[in-house]
Structure 1
């Protein structure tokens, strides 16, 4: 008898809570283990536009959810990720990185119902008024995920964006996409509403310029844009409709360190409300 040939897994995109193939029908091979390979979808500009539509459609519901509910869902993502720890390890993600990524979900989940207290408040004014400031989500955020650490870096850019009520379209690392598409499987079973997180795999130079110039994208996180020339061109495209831009992080950035509040608060707007005092 001939030796059995293992079935090669095909990883698809994650758009609107579903796992579609690229509309172009393309894919590329990546190493998925010591002696195995997998097919990964090669996203097109049309896929990027579809992801933005899905993110925008999910925006009002996610932003309108209670902070407590958003925190519950992020915590559920941590539970599901921990339950699939060995699967990530089999893909080459170190066990301590999976643990750190799990803890990062929990950390951001805890901030969900505290952001308004830290970023909002009552402001002193000269007059018979109450002046209140409250944080609001920016909207749809396009994110270039860092290549390494593949899982912890990815969680560290997705969680702070969505905890405040934003929705995201993530361009995963072309060289390390399996952590991203496997995380999509985790999120699909973590009670996260469809469209809150959308993940594209493939060439950054093909999908990200479309996201940077898209008029329905409100902010651009260039964390993983290691190519300086590409990052600069993306900033220029983002300036066309005054997107908020987070610049790339240094190559030696310590993803295991305390993330602080900067990444969360950079993707929030402040709404100020005036209200007359009773008397």
Structure 2
């Protein structure tokens, strides 16, 4: 309460982001989010298995429209998101700094995350040149390969980089036409939940990105076993959890990107950009 005005502070109510909307968890549960000193910051929604299934439905519904958009249009939309992140830079710096970083280091992390979003946006209409092409064949045929998105990707956000790491796993998946269901970093979900507010007010269609907060293992299990999830990015899973999730994912042959030590501030390369792509090859007879 302010001593001068006598007014009470208005605390923010964080919500999930599913299908372009902001529902509370269907269970009504929340959990406390604290800073590096143990001070209460907010109550985050504790998403349930039902929330995870609802997010998959939303992602599948959005897939046809998003994957069918032109690469140029997807790049424009991602760039627009970067513009809006720049406008809310101070808010993200404060949320990242709450994890125990100095203001200077938090600012560097946020700036790197915005720059990375722009970097991935630029790949939208270029990735086909490095992942596809004309293949030499013995015969009077054109043989052309082109990349296509895998489908719905379940992403476990990194636990050690709540914003830069988060951007580094979401952007490469969606820029190529996939839709995603993201389990935010369990102990630091606020940057992900704030990112949802940016996505909702950008040109990104609802359902392309769906963000859940809660217990990573609790959310990961139904996503790994879900028959309508096509791929898993296990960046935020420990080795034991990753092994269990890979076993569950094998039932419908999901593509799985296992967790590994990553320096999120380094050049990301094209690894994640190409991981969730399939290659379609077309044969066509040459004209006489």
Select between 94-103 and 33-42 the one with higher mean Cα deviation.
Answer: 33-42
Distance between the aligned counterparts of 1:106 and 1:262, measured in 2?
17
Output aligned runs, 1:138-217, within 5 Å.
Answer: 138-217=150-229
1:114 partnered with 2:126: yes
1:103 partnered with 2:115: yes
Over 3 Å counting, the alpha-carbon distance change for 1:68 and 1:19 in structure 2 is same
Question: Match for residue 29 of structure 1?
Answer: 32
Distance between the aligned counterparts of 1:233 and 1:191, measured in 2?
37
Question: Match for residue 129 of structure 1?
Answer: 141
Question: Match for residue 47 of structure 1?
Answer: 51
Question: Match for residue 281 of structure 2?
Answer: 272
**Residue 186 of structure 2 contacts residue 214 of structure 2 at CA under 8 Å; is this kept in 1?**
yes
Distance between the aligned counterparts of 1:271 and 1:15, measured in 2?
30
The normalised TM-score by structure 1 is 0.95
**Residue 33 of structure 1 contacts residue 91 of structure 1 at CA under 8 Å; is this kept in 2?**
no
Shift of 1:124: 0.9
Distance between the aligned counterparts of 1:160 and 1:92, measured in 2?
22
Structure 2 alignment gaps of length 5 or more: 98-105
**Residue 235 of structure 1 contacts residue 245 of structure 1 at CA under 8 Å; is this kept in 2?**
yes
Select between 27-36 and 84-93 the one with higher mean Cα deviation.
Answer: 27-36
Question: Match for residue 72 of structure 1?
Answer: 76
Distance between the aligned counterparts of 2:7 and 2:121, measured in 1?
45
Q: 2:96 aligns with which of 92, 95, 111?
A: 92
Aligned to 1:132, the other structure's residue is in SS state strand
Select between 265-274 and 92-101 the one with higher mean Cα deviation.
Answer: 92-101
Q: 1:240 aligns with which of 245, 251, 271?
A: 251
1:16 partnered with 2:19: yes
**Residue 8 of structure 1 contacts residue 39 of structure 1 at CA under 8 Å; is this kept in 2?**
no
Shift of 1:148: 2.1
The normalised TM-score by structure 2 is 0.92
Shift of 1:31: 2.6
Select between 79-88 and 92-101 the one with higher mean Cα deviation.
Answer: 92-101
Distance between the aligned counterparts of 1:116 and 1:229, measured in 2?
36
Shift of 1:102: 0.4
**Residue 213 of structure 1 contacts residue 237 of structure 1 at CA under 8 Å; is this kept in 2?**
yes
Q: 1:62 aligns with which of 61, 66, 85?
A: 66
Select between 16-25 and 29-38 the one with higher mean Cα deviation.
Answer: 29-38
Shift of 1:52: 0.2
**Residue 32 of structure 2 contacts residue 40 of structure 2 at CA under 8 Å; is this kept in 1?**
no
Shift of 1:15: 0.3
Deviations along 1:80-112, whole A, 9 cap, x unmatched?
001000111222341111100000011001110
1:231 partnered with 2:235: no
**Residue 53 of structure 2 contacts residue 222 of structure 2 at CA under 8 Å; is this kept in 1?**
yes
RMSD (Å) for aligned C-alpha atoms: 1.6
Distance between the aligned counterparts of 1:154 and 1:8, measured in 2?
24
